[in-house]
Amino acid sequence: MVRTPLIHDRDRLQQRLEDLPLQPGVYLFQDHLENILYIGKSKRLRARVQSYFRGLEHLNPRIGLMVQQATDIEFILTDTETEALVLESNLIKQHQPHFNVLLKDDKSYPYLCITWSETYPRIFITRKRRPGHPKDRYYGPYVDAFQLRSVLGLVYRLFPLRQRPKPLFPDRPCLNYQIGRCPGVCQRLITPEAYRETVQKVAMIFQGRTQELIATLSQQMQTAAAGLQFERAAQFRDQMQRLEGLGEQPKVDLPDENAVLDAVALALYEDHACVQLFQTRAGRLVGRLVFFAQRQGSEPGAILQRVLEEHYTHVDAVEIPPLVLVQHELPDGDILADFLSQRRGSRVKLHTPQRLQKAELITLVARNAEVELQRRQKAAAINLAALEDLMTLLDLPDLPHWIEAYDISHLQGSNVVASRVVFIDGLPAKQHYRHYKIQNPTLHTGHSNDYASLQEVINRRFRPWMQNPERLRQDDPDWPSLVLIDGGKGQLSSVMEILETAGLAEDLQVASLAKRHEEVFRPGQRQPVAADPDQPGVQLLRRLRDEAHRFALKFHRQQRTQRLRYSTLAEIPGLGYERQRQLLAYFHSLDTIQAATPEQLARAPGIGPRLAEQIYAYFHPQVG
């Protein structure tokens, strides 16, 4: 039985509210499928949850939509508000509720990731901070991507680190080991414990603890020199000299050159906020982090409180400074200070400076936030103009907040794949991109059918609504405002056919964009929409179409390369599919197999000396 939303069942709502105690804890809103929509915390649970139902007109649109979908409320009691904060953070990281997006990291900025969950951790730059293994750590986001890459390049020259995600050779190290860039991780020539000690030193750099690392290296250099290990002492000396150069960054004028603190300020514009956090270590500015938040009617202090809570629950305890300067008084600053003190293991003070150098630092941070917010608002204004033009062009009922585009890619019917790309408010939302392998058995080399491929993809995309007609559509956060098909009237008609059969055609806004003349087609219209190819709305559709094409083509090339590897090995007598798979798993690439000797080939699982000779002869026919 499908449960109705609580706002439409006042008796059940009243009963659920009466069940809530006036004590600290965490509350969880659930939908009709018992999925968690939103997680929050409060000093007094009943009072906080009641505030959601005092009138939807007082809520921001996002929270109002969540309340309309909520069919039940669960809660977990805690002894203190600090425990509620910790529990809320853990539950949000575990369940990733869709509506918990007060803090929205700027996805255009890169992070540095260290995979502590692996035996030999990797270090790499990524622009996608995704929930993964709890042991993995992310540092950032970093505003200056060039500086981040430069620092990481220097780190790789300073410390012998793992250079590749997979070994190049199965039985010997590559050139990086010979020149001292890698300690031989692929062949386990260094113990995991020793390698982790090196990675710990690297982590100190991105935690803003460069001076502490230099002091550690200095002590290790003296110990090595005292033990007559002069070559090792020289390595520590060189590392210290390079790190000293790395630490020469702009100084912040503070009375105490050993000050270790974070300074946080924000700029507001309508319903948006830009928050900047300056990390100062030993009187030097070592990091500048940028976050964007929805204001949601909150006061500046409440926004800063939420940003700091989410930021400090994602960092290592050693990254929490003893002093945090905030632009505005926090509503629950004492709770946050207790939480940070427990994590750090020593007292953490939250302070709102009013004068002298610390107040000037806050002013500097706020000015940077203002500039960043203006830059973002300017880009948003351009996107808004394009969305408004597109709404008028296609006669849409509302601004197309969520637009998704589909494209098919293949080579004469082989390796048929499809792509879905999503733009939210005119900007790419790559976390929602998807690849599809077309499963239609009638498609093969020499025979393609883009119409059937599009129908399969659309059927797979909207299957949840086809199987559950009771599921909300336009109010569903995953329901698109507009679906764009790459192609002309034929492709559009094939998509509409499957949507009409499923009963979704009336609820979905669909259009297609033909490549040849950049013509836009709508269902039921024989002629293209009257439009200028250079007007903002059409340009937005073209960006979507081109992104879908790029994404599909990249995936198709990956699939084709993989198929070619197997097809080449299939030509070798006696080498069946299972042995092909084992051979590729052992050597990782066709080029490495081709370069291997018969003795190396024979070491692979399932490959004996006789078959190894056949494989070698196939790639070296002149030898045979």
Residue-by-residue DSSP string for 292-335:
EEE-TT--HHHHHHHHHHHHHTSS-GGG--SEEEESS--TTHHH
**Could you say which DSSP state residue 261 is in?**
E
Mean pLDDT confidence for 6-11:
87
CA distance 190 to 285: 35
How far apart are the C-alpha atoms of 249 and 618, rounded to whole Å? 57
Joined together, the tokens standing for residue 4 give 């109705």
For residue 180, count other CB atoms closer than 10 A to its CB: 10
- Could you read off the pLDDT of 491-523 as tens digits, one per residue? 999 999 988 888 888 888 999 998 778 889 999
Q: How confident is the model at residue 293 (pLDDT cuts 50, 70, 90)?
A: confident
Residue tagged 């293949």 (tokens): 410
How far apart are alpha carbons 493 and 458 in whole angstroms? 12
My answer on whether omega of the bond before 621 falls inside 30° of 0, hence cis, is no
Nearest to 319 by CA among 208, 243, 183, 163: 208
| CATH 1.10.150.20 placement within the chain | 571-619
CA-only gyration radius of the chain, Å: 29
Report DSSP state, residue 532: -
Tokens of 620: 């070296």
* 364-418 confidence digits (pLDDT tens): 899 988 988 888 888 778 888 999 999 999 989 888 989 999 999 877 667 788 9
Query: What single-letter DSSP state applies at residue 447?
Result: B
Instruction: Give the three-class secondary structure for 28.
Output: strand
Q: Is the pLDDT of residue 524 over 80?
A: yes
Strand partners, 41: 26
| pLDDT grade for 144, boundaries at 50, 70 and 90 | low
- pLDDT value, residue 379: 77
Is pLDDT larger for residue 248 or for residue 212?
212
Q: What's the rounded Cα separation, in Å, for the pair 494 and 408? A: 13
Model pTM score: 0.56
Per-residue HEC secondary structure of 374-408 comes to HHHHHHHHHHHHHHHHHHHHHCCCCCCCEEEEEEE
Q: Going by DSSP bridges, is the β-strand pair 260-269/519-521 parallel, antiparallel, or unpaired?
A: unpaired
6-100: CATH class: alpha beta
**Strand order of the sheet with strand 123-126?**
123-126, 111-114, 137-139
Cα–Cα distance between 492 and 483 in angstroms, integer?
Answer: 10
Q: Are strands 482-486 and 510-514 parallel, antiparallel or unpaired?
A: parallel
User: CA separation (Å) from 134 to 94, 115, 139, 225, 306?
Assistant: 10, 10, 14, 39, 21
Average pLDDT (2-11) is: 81
CATH number of 260-375: 3.30.420
Cα separation, 529 vs 394, in Å, equals 8
What are the angstrom distances between the C-alpha of 621 and each of 589, 614, 616?
20, 10, 8
Pairing of strands 414-424, 427-428: antiparallel
Pick from 138, 141, 6, 160: which is nearest to 69 by CA? 6
Find the distance separating the first CA and the last CA of the chain, reported in whole Å: 72
Residue spans in the chain of domains classed CATH 3.30.420.340: 395-560
Share of the chain above pLDDT 90, in %: 16
For the cut 60, the answer to whether the pLDDT of residue 111 exceeds it is: yes
pLDDT of 146 higher than 80 = no
Residues contacting residue 508 through CB under 8 Å, at least 6 positions apart: 462, 480, 483, 499
Q: How many CA atoms lie within 13 A of 86 on its CB side?
A: 14
Mean of the pLDDT values across residues 540-561? 87
Longest dimension (CA), the chain: 87
* For residue 332, pLDDT beyond 60: yes
At residue 87, what are phi and psi to the nearest 5 degrees?
Answer: -65, -40
Structure-token pair, residue 434: 């998807």
Q: Is the pLDDT of residue 107 over 50?
A: no
pLDDT of residue 623: 43
What superfamily does domain 571-619 belong to in CATH? Answer: 5' to 3' exonuclease, C-terminal subdomain (1.10.150.20)
pLDDT confidence of residue 444: 64
| Digit-coded pLDDT (tens) for 254-281 | 555 557 889 999 999 877 888 999 888 7
Give the number of other Cβ atoms within 10 Å of residue 344's Cβ.
16
Most confident stretch, 95-99, 215-219, 407-411: 407-411
Give, in words, the CATH class of 395-560. alpha beta
Return the amino acid letter for 395. Answer: D
Q: Which among 69, 77, 68, 61 has a CA at the least distance from the CA of 34?
A: 69
| pLDDT greater at residue 487 or residue 594 | 487
The total number of residues shown for the chain amounts to 624
Q: How confident is the model at residue 477 (pLDDT cuts 50, 70, 90)?
A: low
Burial code of 503-524, b = ≥16 C-beta within 10 A, e = fewer?
A: ebbeebbbbbbbeeebbbbbbe
Q: What was the pLDDT predicted at 245?
A: 53
Q: Which two tokens stand for residue 400?
A: 């197309």
Residues of the chain with CATH 3.40.1440.10: 6-100
Q: Which pLDDT does position 615 carry in this prediction?
A: 87
| Residue 351 or 66, more confident | 351
Q: At residue 485, does pLDDT exceed 70?
A: yes
Of 404 and 95, the one with more pLDDT: 404
Q: Write down the mean pLDDT value for the chain.
A: 82
Give CA–CA dist 149/540, Å, rounded.
Answer: 31
- From CA 128, how far away is CA 126, in angstroms rounded? 6
Residue 249: pLDDT above 50? no
Tell me, what DSSP letter sits at residue 181? S
User: Closest by alpha carbon to 185, among 232, 203, 595, 176?
Assistant: 176
**Residue range 544-550: mean pLDDT, rounded:** 91
Q: What is the pLDDT averaged over residues 208-236?
A: 80
Residue 243's pLDDT is: 67
User: Could you report the per-residue pLDDT of 452-473, keeping only the tens digit for each?
Assistant: 888 899 999 888 888 776 655 5
